Amino acid sequence: MVNQQSTLPSATELAERARAAAERCGVDLNQVSGDHDVISPINGQPLYSVAWQDSAGVDAAIKTANDAFLQWRTVPAPVRGALVKRLGELLTEHKDDLAELVSAEVGKITSEARGEVQEMIDICEFALGLSRQLYGKTMVSERAGHRLMETWHPLGVVGVISAFNFPVAVWSWNTALALVCGDPVIWKPSETAPMCALASNALLQRAIAETEDAPEGLSQVVIGGADVGQALVENPGIALLSATGSTRMGRTVGPLVAERFGRSLLELGGNNAAIVTPSADLDLAVRGIVFAAAGTAGQRCTTMRRVIVHSSIGEELVQRLKAVYERLPIGDPQREGTLIGPLINERSFTGFDAAVQQAGEQGGEVVVGGARELATEAPEAFYVQPTLITMPGQSEVVRTETFAPITYVLTYDGDVTEAIALNNDVPQGLSSSIFTSDLGEAELFVSAAGSDCGIANVNIGTSGAEIGGAFGGEKETGGGRESGSDAWQAYMRRATNTINYSGALPLAQGVNFDVD
């Protein structure tokens, strides 16, 4: 790997840039300051301090949001769409500012940080069109003179708990849809990225102030620890809770929401694989694998963690990947040319190091990477080498998601059904892909007998989903769907309506209940 340690910014320089970006978005730093330091993973130093709220603050926010809901639900959806349109315009205007904060708080390289903000802009455009397409169906009634139909209505307050790795995009996926569907939003961001949330919300507050009929309390941010998240989860005033995080988190959140008969939308772990068949274009496969496996320092839920390659081309693919991995520039994510930034914190590095050791104990061989970088220059930041490990089989460490840039290479000898079985033989079911020039293999992979993941791609990697399609996965990934397609339906309640215009009262199924 190419080491770029000499360009790491000083604590003062990085903090000044982040603070200036937040202020340009409309954040009053004096009002949000407190005693909880926000540490940048770029250099391991504080950026600023923010105030945390407690569970009582969450309860107050939910009451305010429910009051706003009573007004917002009656506003015509196209008018609600105008608010989201204005938010998209402000996000476009402040794209560089938000990208600066995303990079500073979570360590994304600049192009990925800008790409995340572009996702926010894209979902606003999608939601604007959606505001005129909240369609219900009209069905044929078995009774003459009757109309059978369904209508969709605003659901209530939506709670959003987001993770560090997409500190703004996940909020926007939920918020843009929730707003056009008639729902207020309360957002608990990751403790590592509070200023991203405060800046995003400041832009939305500006849009709310400029939009007629948009009430106060439509969008709120609550910053705090686990107690704040738990308060959102347990409060019956939250009609839908959208939570992004680990499978462990989902095992706690899902039952608690279900216990109060609330709705939950869970986006949890991924252990994503690419199958590479003998007919694959290896140049294409290498490009797709490297971005999906090493991008965002392996800290995407859609990161490619397994490569399942046919044994006839396995060695060639491994050597090609090794050659690219050895050239990946590691260092300051805000420096032009850097492709690999830091892990979010020491705990992530501990998980990375433990997984590399466990893979060796389970028969794995490190082909490239496996070590820490920049430890001398930045002892409180955690940069690691993207790592490729060949494995003799799908052992326990391979079946476990490690949120770091580790990719395990497995081989198969038979036909593509053997590879598909390996792809499916993990607890998670988020994203998957196949590289092939064989139409039959491609169609089988995306069929009912193919990948069991929520995302199944052909000749692209596992990362980089567009907002037009519903995003989410199966099994331990949680089953939730966000973003495009018909994901909007989770934010509304459906009513089935029967309208009798016949003047008579025939019963369905031919039931006779006449009274003399």
- Among the listed residues 105, 112, 267, 476, the single catalytic one is 267
CB 297 within 8 A of CB 107: yes
List the beta bridge partners of residue 366.
389
Contact 25, 98 (CB under 8 A): yes
Distances (CA, A) of 63 to 58, 60, 77, 491: 9, 5, 23, 19
User: Tokens 């990697």 correspond to what residue?
Assistant: 461
Where does 118-225 show beta strands of DSSP type E?
Answer: 138-139, 146-154, 157-161, 185-188, 219-221
Helix (H) or strand (E) run with residue 487 in it: none
Task: Give me the sheet containing 138-139, strands edge to edge.
Answer: 138-139, 146-154, 492-500
d(CA 358, CA 356): 6
Q: What are phi and psi of 402, to 5 degrees?
A: -115, 120
| DSSP summary character for residue 509 | G
Closest CA to 165 of 300, 275, 270, 276: 300
**Total count of residues recorded for the chain:** 516
Q: At what angle do helices 169-181 and 194-210 cross, to 10 degrees?
A: 30
> Is 367:318 a contact under the CB 8 Å cutoff?
yes
Q: What is the 3-state secondary structure (H, E, C) of 433-486?
A: EEECCCHHHHHHHCCCCCCCCCEEEECCCCCCCCCCCEECCEECCCCCCEECCC
Q: Give the C-alpha separation, 308 to 278, whole Å.
A: 11
Do the beta carbons of residue 515 and residue 159 sit within 8 Å? no
Alpha helices in 302-434, H assignment, sequence order: 314-325, 346-361, 416-424
CA pair distance 15, 244, nearest whole angstrom: 27
Query: How far apart, in Å, are the Cα atoms of 106 and each of 100, 123, 196, 266, 412?
Result: 10, 22, 10, 22, 37
- Residue type at position 87: L
How far, in Å, CA of 230 to CA of 55, rounded?
8
Do 434 and 331 form a contact (C-beta atoms < 8 A)?
Answer: no
Give me the amino acid identity at 145.
Answer: G
Tokens 């520039």, located at residue: 329
Q: Is 267 a catalytic residue?
A: yes
Cα separation, 176 vs 81, whole angstroms: 9
Q: Which residues are catalytic?
A: 267
